[in-house]
Chain A
Amino acid sequence: MNLNEEVELLKGVPIFSKVEQARLKLLAFTSERVNFGVGQEVCHQGDPGDTMYVILGGTADVLIDTPNGQISVAEMKRNSFFGEIAILCDVPRTATIKAKEPLATLKITKDMFYRLVAEFPEMAIEIMRELAHRLEDTNQKLRAATRAG
């Protein structure tokens, strides 16, 4: 997979959806591609996270710790991404991600992301707008839920 395809995948991430193509290309170029073998963990639930991953190929299990042990709650495939909030603020991983098939990812670190945002403030504005939309969306849902409840 080359750079241009990676950029297409990045565009699918909501917080990046409005960011200029050239910027995403730079983000993709400066980010590392990391492959995981079957059974390798990408991240572990509860660990501090500062990286987001975009899955370029393969499948991964999303596992959650329960009192009865780990259970698989979902599966991720190409185009999926996770940890996008972790590059905005430090949050612990909410799930363990484990490669089910050989997994190819694009690893975007907080540092690299911040550096680009510092360089191109309009990126921040696009992301803020996207986040505001999502917040508004959540608020509406909450209101609807309270009214319904």
Chain B
Amino acid sequence: MERSLFSYIWRHSRPEQIVILLLVVLAQVFYFMSLTVPKSVINNGIQGNAFKDSKTIPFLVWELDLSAIFPGRVIRFFDGFQVDQLQYLVVMSFVFLGAVVVNGLFKKTINTQKGRMGERMLRRLRYELYDRILRFPPAHFRKVKQAELATMVKDEVEPLGGFIGDAYVQPMFLGGQALTAIIFIMMQNWLLGIIVVVLLAVQMSIIPRLRKPVLVLGRQRQISARQLAGRIAETADGVHEIHIHGAANYERADISERLGLIFKIRFDLYQKKFVAKFWNNILSQATPFAIYLVGGYFAITGQMDVGAVVGVLLAYKDLPSPIKELIDWDQQRQDVQIKYEQVIDQFQPEGMMPPALQAIPDGPPPPLGKELALAGVVVTEDGRIKQLDSLSLTLQTSSRVAVIGGSGSGKDVLGQVLARQTLPASGSVRIDGKDFFQLPEYVIGARLAYVGQDTYLFPLTVRDNLLFGLKLRPVAPAVYDDATRAIREVFWKESERAGNPAFDPNADWVDYELAGATGPADLLPCMVRVLKHVELDEDIYSLGLRGTVDAAQRPDLAEKILKARHTLHEHLQDGTYAGLVEPFNDDHYNKNLSVAENLLFGTALGKQFDGDNLAADPYVMSVLQKTGLDVDLQRMGLSIAETMVELFSGLSPDNPLFEQYSFISADELPNVRLLLQRLGGKGIEAVPEADRIRLMTLPFRYIEARHRLGLIDAAMEERILGARRAFAEGLPANLRDAVEFYDFERYNSAATLQDNILFGRLVYGQAQAGERIGTLIAQVFDELGLRDSVIEVGLDYNVGVGGKRLPASQRQKLGIARALIKRPQLVVVNEAVAMFDGRTQDRIRDNILADATERGCGVFWIANRPNQAEPFEQIVVMQGGRVVAQGSPSELAARGGLYTELMASA
């Protein structure tokens, strides 16, 4: 990237800058007009100066005055209209208005153009910086803080956008103005002119010098602010450590220190700025001082007439503001130049990847090559410790090799080299004779898979993460209708103008062929297959059960789930499952649902009837009053209140039992107790109206089967059922969308898959009911061939930031699955299974091996335990960064040595 911001701007916005410049010049004509017209309006239109000699004057005379070249020669094209004074006034007033409008339009156009150019340049610069992040050598990320990178791309280049529009136009425009004024002064008196020029020169050389410290401080301010952003991000990343180690105050000390430093820099900056401003003012007044003194002297001595001195002074009046603005512009220029340098310095580390390596392939990526040869490879850590020491090794990319060695053997570093994650300091890695590190990324991306010890997941769905490695290029363009297409075209054109690539993220980037599928339709089995290989299918299935399906979008699936519901309920009729599930039944009170759920008898959509909102809803209230259930609920509430006061009195308010089991919060309990004491055993009729409402909401969460207070007998069940019917029948049209009623024949889009198939509640207190029903559901899904569809729903689960919504072992499994789904020619597994238990490690290894053997592809397995190496056809033994033995297990066993030692230790 150019070191100079100016040449960067000029190179990328030359035509636009010229257009704007021309517009500015043109605008001056109209600007001048809008200044002269008022003079004519006042002099001729109102005071009637031009109408002293005749009633009318010609207007809009169009003539070419050539008298400067040929004296007296005027070519007249048009004699104009004759207008009287009033007509003149009207016409000139409209001319003035017109000039103002045109002037305004020019201003608007120029500002728009400038703004667009500035934003375009900013976009280009940001893109280039981001592009560079993608080409940083991997090791560089150990040194830079991500928050600092983000601050630079986001905030620090921002002021550049505002400046770019003015970069060339402003100095030209202001310079022109200043020059005109100087020339005018020169024409009045050359001596005065020279004095003015000298004083200006002094001013323009001293002021920037005074502002130099301001710029230095500005740079410090920028760096300290960037570091602050980095520190804040560190706090967020390490917040658990801070709490665990009680280091919050140490962190506070550090931040306070930094803020103090920033304060000092900013305050210094402030002070220096005002010192510069003070001198600026003094110096700019030095010129009139000189004009008074010298001009006055000339006038007194008679060398110059007073009028000329006044003329000079008047001309000078126009000078300070452009000069001041020029100085300001210069200040801004230096400021953004420094900012620019500060930023781009951070974006050109040694060993950046050439752009060609990240080119987008125009067809399916070529194969990897057959033979991988490492010769004299040395990897050092910061140039000191040798992690790989002149390592030489030849591998067939189709062979299945395990690497074993102790913890300092460098086996993991070897794995990183093979994934191009670590660059060797010397030595060569060649594939079929070609430099391995010069292969385009798409070849590596498509043909070689790598999984390390920890996996980063993007905060997207499981599916997005799983398919991440298949998105090397857009394989099928997105389909747009004509209108959208036109909008997209404009969008891409603009992208190109700002030097951004016109790739369409809406296109289908998934390379189905790579996964062994022909298109979106048959991708699912491929995904399920790899999930099985890493034993993640069960977990994703569970996520699927907890997921939802919109029947409008997947009517086929909704239909099938509905069928599964029927099948499941047939099974539930069997004696084996009797009493485990209480199905939703229109005509029965469900003892395993709360009172509120029994009333609503459906899934709340949106907030209207959700949770505690139900109790406060005016429609619900009206239904309760109409059916008379409100008094019943109040009675139940009173009874619950009595029990709660009896049970929870004396318990300390912060006891977790309150939150888990009490219907009344610890804060409220004393009030309720008081209320009960005042009642002294009298019934609900004695309770004040305000308290009744509160009592009435208590039973909403009451579940007969769970809480067992014996509040709901058969008669009460009937009454609640009555209210349920009244609620559904009287539901106003505007609330129809707020609830999806339970209906055995309808799929419920708002409920989870599990709730949909179960269509009921697990009965409280049945030993192992959850497990048994879970198994039954799985069995039903299997029978109907729906298991994969459930997994498909689970694939839509969002894994959260850094995949934190998945447990660590599932994250790692997903990472391995992501590597396997592209059916790589060679997969490098770098101690990636270490976090699983021993048996899982072996099973996943066997699955990966079996899959690779079937496809005739290679596996490079860096073993976290030596005995994992047993089933591999070839084993590499490493020690101290070198290969000490290589061969088949039997050969190595016969030779003994380190191999035998390692195997025995496992």
Contact = CB atoms under 8 A, between A and B. Distances in A.
B650 interface: yes
B643 to A, nearest CB: 8
Nearest to B710: A2
- A interface majority secondary structure: mixed
Contact of A36 (B661, B708, B767): B767
A42 B768 CA distance: 10
A33 B767 contact: no
Interface string B328-362: 00000000000000000000000000000000000
Nearest to A37: B767
A35 B766 contact: yes
Interface string A1-23: 11100100000000000000010
A82 interface: no
Contact of A34 (B579, B707, B765): B765
A109 to B, nearest CB: 13
15 contacts: A29-B643, A29-B707, A30-B657, A30-B661, A33-B765, A34-B767, A35-B579, A35-B765, A35-B767, A37-B579, A37-B766, A40-B767, A104-B765, A115-B655, A119-B655
B66 interface: no
A32 B706 CA distance: 8
A3 B710 contact: yes
A22 B709 CA distance: 15
A21 to B, nearest CB: 10
A86 to B, nearest CB: 17
A96 to B, nearest CB: 14
B765 A32 contact: yes
The 7 A-B residue pairs whose C-beta atoms are closest, nearest first, are A2-B710, A33-B765, A26-B647, A36-B767, A34-B765, A30-B661, A34-B767
Interface string A31-58: 0111111001010000000000000000
B168 interface: no
Interface string B856-894: 000000000000000000000000000000000000000
A61 to B, nearest CB: 15
A25 B647 contact: yes
A2 B705 CA distance: 10
Nearest to A102: B579
Contact of A119 (B579, B651, B709, B766): B651
Nearest to A40: B767
Interface string A120-134: 100000000000000
A40 B650 contact: no
Contact of B648 (A1, A26, A33, A42): A26
Interface in B736-768: 764-768
Contacts of B650: 22, 119-120
B656 interface: yes
Contacts of A26: 647-648, 651, 657
Interface in A74-118: 104, 115
Contacts of A29: 643, 647, 661, 707-708
A104 B709 CA distance: 17
A99 to B, nearest CB: 9
Nearest to A3: B708
A115 B661 contact: no
Given A25-B647, A34-B765, A3 B709 contact: yes
Contact of B768 (A1, A2, A40): A40
Interface residues of B, number: 23
B652 interface: yes
A116 B646 CA distance: 15
Nearest to A28: B708
Nearest to B649: A22
A111 B297 CA distance: 103
Interface in B629-681: 643, 646-652, 655-657, 660-661
Contacts of B768: 40
A30 B709 CA distance: 12
Given A33-B765, A120-B650, 4 more contacts: A26-B657, A34-B765, A35-B765, A37-B579
Contacts of A104: 765
A119 B646 CA distance: 15
Contacts of A22: 646-647, 649-650
A133 to B, nearest CB: 26
A34 B660 CA distance: 19
Interface residues of A, number: 21
A33 B648 CA distance: 20
Interface of A: 1-3, 6, 22, 25-26, 29-30, 32-37, 40, 42, 104, 115, 119-120
Among the interface residues A37, A40, A115, which one has the most CB atoms of the partner chain B within 10 A? A37
Nearest to A112: B657
A37 to B, nearest CB: 7
Contacts of B710: 2-3
Interface string B701-713: 0000001111000
A27 to B, nearest CB: 10
A124 to B, nearest CB: 15
Contacts of B765: 32-35, 104
B885 to A, nearest CB: 47
B396 to A, nearest CB: 52
A115 B656 contact: yes
A122 to B, nearest CB: 10
B708 A2 contact: yes
Contacts of A3: 643, 708-710
A33 to B, nearest CB: 4
Contacts of B708: 1-3, 6, 29, 33
A119 to B, nearest CB: 6
Contact of A115 (B579, B643, B657, B709): B657
Nearest to B580: A37
Interface string B697-728: 00000000001111000000000000000000
B767 A2 contact: no
Contacts of A1: 708
B651 A33 contact: no
Nearest to B655: A119
Interface string B561-591: 0000000000000000001000000000000
Contacts of B661: 29-30
A119 B654 CA distance: 11
A25 B657 contact: no
Contacts of B660: 30
Contact of B764 (A33, A36, A40): A33
Contacts of A25: 646-647
Contacts of B766: 34-35, 37
A40 B580 CA distance: 14
Nearest to B765: A33
Nearest to B707: A29
Contacts of B764: 32-33
Nearest to A4: B710
Interface in B283-335: none
A36 B647 CA distance: 28
B624 to A, nearest CB: 26
Interface in B458-490: none
A26 B655 CA distance: 13
A11 B664 CA distance: 27
B110 to A, nearest CB: 74
A40 B768 CA distance: 9
Contacts of B646: 22, 25
Nearest to A118: B655
B652 A119 contact: yes
Nearest to A33: B765
A35 B655 CA distance: 29
A68 to B, nearest CB: 28
Contacts of B649: 22
B711 to A, nearest CB: 9
Contacts of A33: 708, 764-765
A101 B526 CA distance: 49
Among the interface residues A29, A33, A35, A36, which one has the most CB atoms of the partner chain B within 10 A? A29
A28 to B, nearest CB: 8
B350 to A, nearest CB: 58
A3 B710 CA distance: 8
